[in-house]
Amino acid sequence: MQPFYRLLLAALLGGLLAAGATVLLLEQRLGGAIGLLPDDAPRPKLVNLAPGAGQLRHYPEPVDLRSAARLATKTVVHITARADGDGRETVKALFGRQRRDADLSGGEGSGVIYTSNGYIVTNYHVVAGANQITVTTTDRRRYPASLIGEDPKSDLAVLKIEGDNFPYLPLADSDAVEPGAWVLAVGNPLGLTSTVTAGIISAKGRNLSLLPDLDAIESFLQTDAAVNPGNSGGPLVTAEGKLVGINTAIASQTGRFQGYSFAIPVNLVQRIADDIIEFGAYRRAYLGVEISTLTPADIRRMRLKNQTQGVLIDAIFAGGSAEAAGLQVGDLVVKVDDRQVNDLPEMTEIIGLAKVGDQLKVTVIRDNTPREIVVTMLPFQE
């Protein structure tokens, strides 16, 4: 055999021996099979290679809102409100910082089915002044609707359509909902039916001074779910598919969504809607006070100690619950029953939830001394 071929054969045999040794070594290290490890073999660690980082973290899956969206869209209705020949504010009235008259004698908005027998909750400003109201459900059935009652001071109204077994949402506890909780806004914005947007609760107890009456109830839930004209009266829904609010307004310089929208909390909605359904009107209890949020100037003037939040009684009106119970001008309300009172919106919501005849245990600071005063809520007198 030629020397060249002998060298070539030796090289080939050497290569085969080296390959065999490598395979044996891998089998010993990997347990004898590619991709499999014996039970007692050490497992590799997941390591984040970023400087200063530890092991990789396993994050929870994103919140799945599909089930809540399916439930909510079935309960949303489209509302068309018309006034015969008379100009009135349309549903765009609260979508901007300024109220304005409209050229059209009617408008469109949203509502949510409140009970299976056809009661519907919406905003007062959606139907204000209308004498022809038509409701269209998500399955495109059209119903003439009657106005059962309205409360301009909370911007709520209740409609009724004839029928049974309508889908409706269970109610959440809006007092218990916290900032950061996922919510859906559902409605008919800008003519787009059954639109769902998502966001979180951004804040609670917002007072925007949108409603003109001095005794208006404003304690909105703030959310960053996109809301636009046409969403008015539609539901704000939790990730579990429960009704937590009625979408009412946005803070905007353009009349379109800019990141801030507001909803009436459902606890207040339930209180007012149930009264309207039962009595035809909201039977409002009357505290009979003029109040304001405590300010740093008030703290200095009153020489308050360790007290930075609350509602100050500035005036007491004759015939009200406050006068009868012995509350005084200058009292600082810090608690009602078991609920802390931090500011004006919270106080107006608490009183708005109270019923005639309820007895509220009001804690006030008077002369730097806490006092508990039982207030029996009297009916509101026009």
Catalytic residues: 125, 155, 232
Judge whether 283 and 355 are in contact, CB under 8 Å.
yes
The three state secondary structure string of the chain is: CCHHHHHHHHHHHHHHHHHHHHHHHHHHHHCCCCCCCCCCCCCCCCECCCCCCCECCCCCCCCCCHHHHHHHHHHEEEEEEECCCCCCCCCCCCECCCCCCCCCCEEEEEEEECCCCCEEEECHHHHCCCCEEEEECCCCCEEEEEEEEEECCCCEEEEECCCCCCCCCCECCCCCCCCCCEEEEEECHHHCCCEEEEEEEEEEEECCCCCCCCCCCCCEEEECCCCCCCCCCCEEEECCCCEEEEEEEECCCCCCCCCCEEEEEHHHHHHHHHHHHHHCCCCCEECCEEEEECCHHHHHHHCCCCCCCCEEEEEECCCCHHHHHCCCCCCEEEEECCEECCCHHHHHHHHHHCCCCCEEEEEEEECCEEEEEEEECEECCC
Closest CA relative to residue 284, chosen from 348, 190, 196: 348
Q: Which residues contact 121 (CB under 8 A, 6 or more apart)?
A: 111, 112, 114, 156, 157, 158, 159, 233, 246, 269, 273
Residue 274 CA to residue 18 CA, distance in Å, equals 86
The residue to which tokens 């609670």 are assigned = 204
